[in-house]
Amino acid sequence: MDPLRLDMGGIASSLDCRFLHDGDRIVRVQETVTDQLRDQIQTCMVQRQNLEAIFDSVTDGILAADLQLRIINLNRAASELVGIGRLRAVGSSCLDVLQLNAEADTLGRALSEHREVSGLSFTLDIRDDDPRQLLATTRVLRDDDGQSHGIVLVLRDVTELEAMRDQLVSRRGIQGIIGRNRGMQEIYDLVEQLADSDATVLVLGESGTGKELVAAAVHHGSERRDGPFVKVNCAALSESLLESELFGHVKGSFTGAVRDKVGRFELADGGTVFLDEIGDLSPQVQVKLLRVLQEREIERVGGTETIAVDCRIIAATNQDLLQAIAAGGFREDLYYRLNVMPIEVPPLRQRRDDIPLLVDHFVDLFRTRTGRPIRYVDDEALQLLTNYSWPGNVRELENAIEHAFIRCRGEVILARCLPPQLSLPATPAAETLETPTTEPDRDEKAAVLRALEETRWNRREAALRLDMHRTTLWRKMREFGLG
């Protein structure tokens, strides 16, 4: 055999072995690289899952978009806020999803211009019956070279927070009562505290201050809200008629009683009876009312049957009942039965800071009622309204705005449209400034003021410090012009 062929065959055989050896090593290297790559991929997948879990666990909504404002990702909170699932949201315009205008809305402009903003408030009205108040913060996504690649939008839902702030810090009103004044805030607190109570309430205040509104608020805020709210004006009826109205009568009990009649206490079963002007009750009716409060039962006029009644009693008066007791015109035991929870409604002159709010309310009311295009009151007219002493309180203010609606021919109420008495100089009797007092009066006023200031104007605590009833303290505050 050819030696060269033998040599070539040996070389070939040697190369084959070497190639097989190197190939095996390459395979092993490839397997090692594949294992490392697989581990890295698995590690990345775990890290991605962890990041996505963290992303979705954030309570604020996070939305990422490209430079064309197309959504590229959003977390679960953002998806719930905008009401769209992730699959539907990705690729959509974030302006459309958030119902923003790139030119008219501040946040829309900021997104379109790729500007960073912090804590920008806007309303998201995805659901008609549940608009959400949101705070938006934007941040631009940049690479290491500072080039922009997208934008991140963080959304915080502050709807409940704003609602609580309105209720606890600056409530404008409750159940039809309007006012931000400190005294009105105390009334709102009392109304809320009475929500789970069936206690008898005595509402005190001058005529026209809104005592009936307070009584209605107590009723509608209580567990009896679904029951009737029955109103009785004790000063509008004679003694015999009032007794029949309250307790009912049986047929033939008096001339004109042609049939049995159910009284207001029975009609209010499961609800509330509001007794306005309670100070005008006759002694005979006072005795019968005391029985209702003590025994929760009545007898109809001319009848002998005892009827159980289930109703809450709220009474109101513009009189000083303690003075009436001293004069023998009102029963002391009835007073203490009625005065379980007193609520004192301040006169309008002691809460002048509420006048602009009330004016706006009545302007809106009469604009709706009359269809007139009147929108607001000018500065001069508002100054007259604020400076006036309002002896008729909120009722007189309402009448003044109605008067202005009749006279006003434009869109703005001017000073000349208001009732003429508002432009007259205030008389000494109408002034709320301090009047001349004797030395003992000045000492008492100083003591009352000091107690109020030390208790941060908590009338209950101040009355305890002064060893007087809250009604007496309220009367002293009126005398001394302390609002």
The answer to whether the CB of 277 falls within 8 A of the CB of 235 is yes
For the entire predicted model, the pTM comes to 0.56
Query: CA 480, CA 464: separation in Å to the nearest integer?
Result: 19
CA atoms within 13 A on the CB side of 218: 28
DSSP 408: -
By three-state DSSP, how is residue 238 classified?
Answer: coil
Q: How far is CA 181 from the centre of its chain?
A: 14
User: Please, which residues bridge with residue 230 across strands?
Assistant: 273
Q: How far apart are CA 395 and CA 347, in angstroms?
A: 11
Chain position carrying tokens 């934008």:
151
CA distances from 327 to 38, 187, 207, 447 (A): 99, 30, 22, 27
Distance (Å) of CA 469 to CA 75, 188, 260, 320, 461 = 59, 21, 43, 12, 11
Q: In the block, which residue shows the tokens 């004044």?
A: 181
| Distance separating alpha carbons of residues 247 and 101, to the nearest angstrom | 64
DSSP-derived 3-state class of residue 204: strand
Between CA 473 and CA 452 the distance in angstroms is 10
Kindly list the distances between the CA atom of residue 253 and the CA atoms of 207, 259, 262, 292, 342, in Å, as whole numbers in the listed order: 35, 9, 13, 21, 37
Domains of the chain, earliest start first:
61-163 (3.30.450.20), 172-344 (3.40.50.300), 348-423 (1.10.8.60), 439-480 (1.10.10)
CA distance 346 to 348: 6
Residues 6+ apart with CB under 8 A from 418: 381, 384, 385, 400, 403, 404
Note down pLDDT in tens along the chain; length 483 residues.
444 444 544 544 554 555 445 555 555 556 665 767 676 766 666 666 666 666 567 778 888 899 998 998 888 888 888 888 888 888 998 888 888 887 778 888 888 888 888 878 788 877 656 678 888 889 998 888 888 889 998 988 877 666 554 544 445 566 678 888 888 988 998 998 998 899 999 999 999 999 999 999 999 989 999 999 999 999 988 888 899 999 998 888 888 888 889 999 999 999 999 999 999 999 999 999 999 999 999 999 888 889 999 999 999 999 999 999 999 999 999 999 999 999 999 999 999 989 998 999 999 999 999 999 998 899 899 999 999 999 999 999 999 999 999 999 888 999 999 999 988 665 443 344 333 444 445 677 888 888 887 877 777 677 777 766 565 676 677 677 775
Question: How far, in Å, CA of 215 to CA of 201, rounded?
Answer: 8
Amino acid at the residue 78: A
253 CB-near residues (< 8 Å, 6+ apart): 300, 301, 302, 303
